[in-house]
Structure 1
Amino acid sequence: MIAAQRRNIIVDTIERDGAVSITSLSEKLDTSAVTIRRDLDQLAEEGRLVRTHGGAVLASSARESSYAEKLEQALAEKTAIARAAATQVRNGDVVALGPGTTTELLAKELVTRSGLRVVTNSLLVAEAMVSSPDNEVIVVGGLLRHSIRAFVGGGTVSQLLGLRADTVFLSGNGLAADFGLSTPAFPVADTDRAMAAGAGRVTALVDHTKVGLRSSVLTVPTEQIQQLITDSKSSETELTALREAGVEVEVV
């Protein structure tokens, strides 16, 4: 396969999935990681994508995506991840749900439970739980970040540091074995990190478009993540690296 054909396939893949990793492209195109890196660097120079650590995103994805854009991406996979996460929650648990489309879907799976205490800084998680009066919902306030429909900032962090949960479910913009869970925004990272600090168990809900990617700001390092729930399209090479780093990986 000539370079032009290979690069067209890369562009088609990233336009469909929103993001790609070097390992997944190397497997898909049956070529070396060095060649893929050269391809991505060339495409980045042409303005057709933006390079990230371990892969690339659409040129328009260098900014933090809007909530509507995130909701449309890999919706079927996110729904399956949310359902798998819900099976791990027992009536009476204290759970913390960070912002994100996948955590919102998880909240919708929990509305039929009873006796839960749900801690969140997400307006959409709280809204999903309105129809579930048998569960207690604690919403921590702060500065509203419109793009993710959630509260962030120093006030939010202070409230979260005083709370404890059995499990915290976090999403994010990327998860790489050699880095951890990450996001483009410092205020979001700070609040997610505070939420994770008060949890007995940190579970990352990350679909294949984010596995292997490294966004600009570290949220939770890999060694502090107990579990990842992802979908079957995720890079097996990256999942193996996460398992070797001590993360329990569930693929749905």
Structure 2
Amino acid sequence: MKVKYDSSEYMELRQQKILELLNEQGSLLTDDLANKFEVTTQTIRRDINALCESGLARKLHGGITLSPALDNLAMSKRVATNAPVKHQIIKAAIQELQSGHTVFLSYGSTVAQFASCLPRDISLTVITNNLDAVSHLTGFPNIDVWVAGGQLRHQHRDVSGVHTQTFFKGFRVDIAVLGVGGISAQGELLEFQCDEGELTKIMLKNSRKSILLADSSKYLRNASVYAASLEDIDTFYTDCQAEKLSQLCEENNVQLNIIEVK
């Protein structure tokens, strides 16, 4: 059965569907995709280029395959990826925080942007290893910031390792604000490095509530390290409208907030 998607209005939805098919089949042909979605091969090639530039897939001769996902993109590239979408997600999620909260802010570009968008008059205690978040929070005099030590990851602009994990283990917080490398079709939360997965586990264990921030590009994104699953998350903010993801959230009692990007 063919599925018709207008090339402009449904571009993001079509790319999401391509990722779903890619996750199921491993590789896809450009001509087959054009036929399935009833668009031109030029349109499908633009979709393929967008997915590959985001690190979500890899080009093959005449088609596309899953990315090997050995590592994440550098922070400088991630900051610019889907920036307007991330801003809308962040704007909605920030309403969860109230003055007096103690908060974990995890690694990643979305969480760093979350820090920059906090209300100027909010009073918080923040624990983080995210150096971009720390840089943003220097302009918030009402926020006490505890910065983890550890090994500097230059391209990710954070610190990690055993010392970082030990530092986080010493806190009990109200809310953990988390990003993620990828979300599998089974609802697994995946990361690119073991240190990232371990730190996510610690933050989830030591927080009373967890908030996941992830734009639609993270759904079905291939990554190799298991960190947690959707059942470990309390609230999820995303723009992804994939029906299966919504079903997974419902099955795992996750409060799903789908953000309509304007």
Map of 1:13 onto structure 2: 47
Question: SS of the counterpart of 2:117?
Answer: helix
5+ long unaligned stretches in structure 1: 21-39, 52-56
Question: SS of the counterpart of 2:208?
Answer: strand
- 1:16: how far off? 2.0
- 1:3: how far off? 6.4
- 1:115: how far off? 2.2
Map of 2:72 onto structure 1: 64
Cα distance in 2 for residues equivalent to 1:245 and 1:10: 34
Q: Which amino acid is 2:142 matched to?
A: D
Q: Give runs of aligned pairs for residues 136-175 of structure 1, distance below 5 A.
A: 136-175=144-183
Cα distance in 1 for residues equivalent to 2:138 and 2:158: 16
- 1:13: how far off? 2.0
In structure 2, do the counterparts of structure 1 residues 225 and 11 end up closer, same or farther at CA, with 3 Å as the change threshold? farther
Give the TM-score normalised by structure 2: 0.76
Q: Is the 8 A contact 1:94 1:165 kept in 2?
A: yes
Cα displacement string for residues 126-160 of structure 1 (whole angstroms, at most 9, x for unaligned residues): 11100111110111110111222111100111111
Q: Identity rate of aligned residues, in percent?
A: 22
Q: Is the 8 A contact 1:19 1:210 kept in 2?
A: no
Tell me if 1:236 matches 2:246. no
Question: SS of the counterpart of 2:220?
Answer: coil
Give the TM-score normalised by structure 1: 0.79
Question: SS of the counterpart of 1:87?
Answer: helix
Q: Give runs of aligned pairs for residues 33-44 of structure 1, distance below 5 A.
A: none
- 1:224: how far off? 0.8
Q: Which amino acid is 2:31 matched to?
A: A
Q: Which amino acid is 1:156 matched to?
A: T
Cα distance in 2 for residues equivalent to 1:182 and 1:47: 29
Cα displacement string for residues 162-199 of structure 1 (whole angstroms, at most 9, x for unaligned residues): 11111101112112352421111111212222222211
In structure 2, do the counterparts of structure 1 residues 248 and 177 end up closer, same or farther at CA, with 3 Å as the change threshold? farther
Cα displacement string for residues 92-145 of structure 1 (whole angstroms, at most 9, x for unaligned residues): 111111011111111012151332001111001111100111110111110111
Cα distance in 1 for residues equivalent to 2:50 and 2:171: 39
Q: Give runs of aligned pairs for residues 1-252 of structure 1, distance below 5 A.
A: 4=31, 6=33, 8=41, 11-17=45-51, 18=54, 46=61, 49-51=64-66, 57=67, 62-176=70-184, 178-231=186-239, 233-252=240-259
- 1:207: how far off? 0.2
Cα distance in 2 for residues equivalent to 1:6 and 1:136: 51
Cα displacement string for residues 14-72 of structure 1 (whole angstroms, at most 9, x for unaligned residues): 4224366xxxxxxxxxxxxxxxxxxx9xx876496442xxxxx4x7x653211111111
In structure 2, do the counterparts of structure 1 residues 167 and 85 end up closer, same or farther at CA, with 3 Å as the change threshold? same
Q: Is the 8 A contact 1:111 1:128 kept in 2?
A: no
- 1:245: how far off? 2.2
Cα distance in 2 for residues equivalent to 1:16 and 1:69: 13
In structure 2, do the counterparts of structure 1 residues 5 and 12 end up closer, same or farther at CA, with 3 Å as the change threshold? farther
Cα displacement string for residues 181-225 of structure 1 (whole angstroms, at most 9, x for unaligned residues): 111111121222222221111111000000233421011222211
Q: Which amino acid is 1:6 matched to?
A: L
Cα distance in 2 for residues equivalent to 1:227 and 1:244: 13
- 1:79: how far off? 0.6
5+ long unaligned stretches in structure 2: 3-28, 35-40
Give the alignment's Cα RMSD to 1 decimal: 2.5
Count of residue pairs brought into register by the alignment: 223
Map of 1:27 onto structure 2: none
Cα distance in 2 for residues equivalent to 1:99 and 1:140: 11
Cα distance in 2 for residues equivalent to 1:63 and 1:136: 32
In structure 2, do the counterparts of structure 1 residues 214 and 200 end up closer, same or farther at CA, with 3 Å as the change threshold? farther
